[in-house]
Amino acid sequence: MTLLFLILISRIYFVQVVQGAFWYGEAKERWSAAEVLSAKRGSITDRNGNILAMDTIAYNIAVNPRVIHDADIEDEIVDGLNKILGKPKEELRKLVTAKNAEGKYYSNREMREGGWGIDKSLADQIKEFREQLSKEKELSDVGIYLTESLKRYYTRNTLASQLVGYLDKEGKALSGIEAFYDEQLRGVDGWIKYEKDGKRVQLAEGEVDFQPAENGQDIELTIDSDIQYYVEEALQQIVKEYNPKSATIIAADPNTMEILAMANVPTFNPNEFWKSPYANFYNHAIKSLYEPGSTFKIATLAAAVEEGVFNPDEMFKSGSIKLQGIPKPINDIKRDGWGTISFLDGLKHSSNVAFVKLGYERIGADKLRDYFSKFGFGQKTGISLSNELAGVINLQYPSDVARATFGQGNVLVTPIQQVAAVAAVANGGELLQPQIVKKVTDPITKTTTEIEPKVIRRVISEETSKKVGEYLEQVVSDQDKGTGKNAYIEGYRVAGKTGTAQKVVNGKYSADKFVVSFIGYAPVEDPKIVVYVVVDEPNDPLVGGGKVAAPAFKQIVLKSLRKMGVPPSRETVPDSGKKEATVEVPDLSKLKVAQAKAELAALAINCEMVGNGATVLQQIPAAGSAIHPTQRIYLITEQRDKLVIPDLTGVSLRDALEIASLVGIRLIPEGQGFVVSQKEETLNHVKVLKVVLAPPLGAVTESEGAGGEADPSADGSTAEDNTEAAGENNTDDSADDEAEG
């Protein structure tokens, strides 16, 4: 017995003293519990703070096959979850009857497919089903568990989806801003460790170790959700009419190169990304290379003006040109040409011969190659998006140089390169790095980092920039010769260029597959927006950039300028032959003010509220009226005795008289046209409103009379010149000729 006690005491001493620290540590591990504190991923917003991507509460479903089996409720669980989640019964039954290698039922199985990251509405249905089943079977536990988690939610669904990107079901960032700024957005998870008793209840006097989660940084993009919507709306119209292989539109501020909108079709919904094919995730704006076609002539034109070799009045013979060292002649789209014309008319007609003379013969290969490089072609722009391509400018042979002058041959560019280059022409000659992020805010330090515009280099002088803008404006304003006439916007000066390029298929230029485009900016005198529209393989081989892309450009730019508050100059282009564009006023009576505003915003029409009521009682002009796109709509929301005189600037005399009658004041007009100023006065002890009217700049008006105005019925449309066919299809040989390089 003594020996036994000596052995026990020795063992106790060894365990508690010699190994005491080791076993105490092991015990603490048994007592301790740890939980991960998930960091909240930073939000992504547009430039106005509208949320595009954010973390939101989600729920994960798990089941306990052991509990379900013991309660004999497999059929009820399978039927209930099938009805709520739509998950096949075979998969559910396999889940709720799952066994381990020893043949025993599992105590916990997560429902990864179809039950992971469900929203609150589904979770509430699961809870209700669980409670109902528990009451029916008189069970405290039916083996269905819900745990809270975070999931990524994209508030605008498909809006800017390729730009914003998405997270997969495992939370991995796979594209767009989500992937490029993943490190800043995802944050750092925290944790908490505490001591517990046998029932897993935290000990009041136990040790606690805590590391708080660090939420991710918030990203504010440069895009404007409204302009993004205008762009995607235009893309859907292109799809409806021409069913292309793909189409891309980029809108940017040329003075800062902040991207205002970027979109492609086909597209996808990042909330349901698994439902779309991989091709829908592709951002053609930075990843696709195209022969640019005649939009590339802008770079050649700018170089020619800068070098002093472009004289708009100088004459040349169009149609075809034969160059030494190049076996085949280079032709215009119209093989017999337009006769002997000026270089400015050559620009309007998009003559290949004109640009070969300017670029190949006068500027020369070395200088031309240098200008293309200065404009950023053949190199990445540096935009904050992954997998941007650099493009190709490979001018080894004389034929390469000649073809490059009009955007064909060994010239491959991305849409974002095109936008950056034309922005340099618009903004006074400086090439800027495209910016997609405006601000980054750290929620921990409360500091905000603003991304400033970055000038890469000066390409051309301000004087050259101004001249090129004036020349490109005539491509749009000349309704007889200009290939860009369908981009003309009444009241605004627009510069632009169409492009149509044959695609290379099996080493040869295709006769029926084209890439058509339009790029331009407005207003010419003070550019606020540059827009590039490129459409890959429209279903009609006879249409060009002027037919397909220019109308989309016009729609986007008009709405965007109105949204930006850029007033029209109302200066008409002499002899343009273009009638004033109009829009039809919708019926807004009896609508709630918010709904009426939304309808007008969709049409890019400004409105002014007259009164403080909640419902539209009357509108001026009346529903069905044809008005200029820049004219305001007045929404009357209160009775006459409560109204105040609104700002009438820009309205016609007829509408001014009607509004004055509504608010109960006499109107005394002076002049003709549209109201330019107003003043409230007292005449013979009676309040009157004196208004001064003036016609639009450059317009010739007839006498309006007391309540008349110029005929607003013109819709601004023009007959499409079918001879444009594939725009200014810049092939210099037949469709069957082999493509060089």
Structure confidence by residue, pLDDT tens digits, 266-298: 999 998 898 899 889 999 999 999 999 999 999
Q: With a cut of 50, which residues of the chain have pLDDT below it?
A: 570-579, 697-741
Does one domain contain both 551 and 589?
no
Confirm if 710 and 702 have CB atoms less than 8 A apart.
yes
Residues noted as catalytic: 294
Q: Is residue 343 part of a domain?
A: yes
CATH code of residue 481: 3.40.710.10
pLDDT of residue 137: 83
Distance separating alpha carbons of residues 391 and 313, to the nearest angstrom = 35
Does residue 114 contact residue 85 with C-beta atoms inside 8 Å?
yes
Among 564, 591, 610, the domain-final residue is 564
CB 735 within 8 A of CB 509: yes
Same domain, 526 and 664: no
Distance CA 700, CA 673 (A): 10
In a domain, 462, yes or no: yes
Identify the burial level of 7 via C-beta atoms within 10 angstroms of its C-beta, where 0-12 means exposed, 13-18 middle and 19 or more buried: exposed
CATH number at residue 145: 3.90.1310.10
- Domain check: are 374 and 492 in the same one? yes
Q: How many CB atoms lie within 10 A of CB 309?
A: 17
| DSSP code for 363 | I
Task: Classify residue 17: in a domain, yes or no.
Answer: no
**Residue 730 located in a structural domain:** no
Could you give the C-alpha distances from 408 to 336, 403, 503, in angstroms and in order?
A: 20, 5, 10
User: What does the pLDDT read at residue 258?
Assistant: 97
**Using CA atoms, how far apart are residues 494 and 486, in angstroms rounded to an integer?**
11
What pLDDT was estimated at residue 105?
A: 87
In 401-507, the DSSP E strands lie at 411-412, 430-432, 437-442, 447-450, 455-458, 495-505
- Both 481 and 357 in one domain: the answer is yes
Do both 558 and 587 map to the same domain? no
Q: How far does CA 270 lie from the centroid of its chain? A: 15
What local confidence, expressed as pLDDT, does residue 412 receive?
94
pLDDT of the residue at 206: 64
CATH code where residue 626 lies: 3.30.10.20
Residue 252 and residue 362 in one domain:
yes
Q: Which amino acid is located at 14 in the chain?
A: F
659-668 own/partner pairs: CB under 8 Å, 24+ apart = 659/610, 659/620, 659/634, 660/689, 662/610, 662/618, 662/620, 662/636, 663/610, 664/640, 665/689, 667/691
* Residue 261 sits in the same domain as residue 405: yes
Question: Letter for the amino acid at 294?
Answer: S
- Alpha helices by DSSP H, listed for 138-222, are 161-164, 176-180, 182-186
Residue 190, domain member (yes or no): no
Nearest to 249 by CA among 535, 41, 621: 535
Residue 122 is assigned to a structural domain of this protein: yes
Q: Are residues 551 and 587 in the same domain?
A: no
Whole-angstrom CA distances from 710 to 576, 649, 696 are 19, 17, 11
The structure tokens listed for 695 are: 């016609």
Cα–Cα nearest to 143, from 104, 92, 107, 116: 107
Could you tell me if 233 and 261 lie in one domain? yes
Q: Where are the alpha helices (DSSP H) in 451-585?
A: 462-477, 545-564
Enter the tokens of residue 478. 């000349």
Contact status, residue 319 vs residue 335, Cβ threshold 8 Å: yes
User: Is the separation of the CB atoms in 52 and 218 below 8 Å?
Assistant: no
For helices 415-426 and 462-477, angle between their N-to-C axes, nearest 10 degrees = 110
Query: Cα(186)–Cα(217) distance, rounded to whole angstroms?
Result: 8
Is 597 found in the same domain as 560?
no
Residues 367, 372: Cα–Cα separation, whole Å: 9
The verdict on 395 and 492 lying in the same domain is: yes
Do 398 and 516 fall within a single domain? Answer: yes
CA gap 406, 64 in Å, rounded: 69
CA distances from 595 to 364, 590, 601, 635, 636 (A): 59, 10, 10, 12, 14
Last residue of a domain, one of 127, 154, 181: 154
Beta bridge partner(s), residue 320: 331
Q: Per the structure, how many domains does the chain have?
A: 3
- Residue 597 has what DSSP assignment? H
Task: Give the end of a domain, one of 104, 131, 154.
Answer: 154
Domain that holds residue 310: 225-436+452-564
Alpha-carbon separation of residue 488 from 47, 249, 480, 517, 559 (angstroms) = 29, 18, 12, 16, 14
Q: Give domain status of residue 731, yes or no.
A: no
Name the region of 292 (left: φ>0; alpha: ψ -120 to 50; beta: rest).
alpha
Residue 222: what pLDDT?
A: 96
Q: Has residue 209 been placed in a domain?
A: no
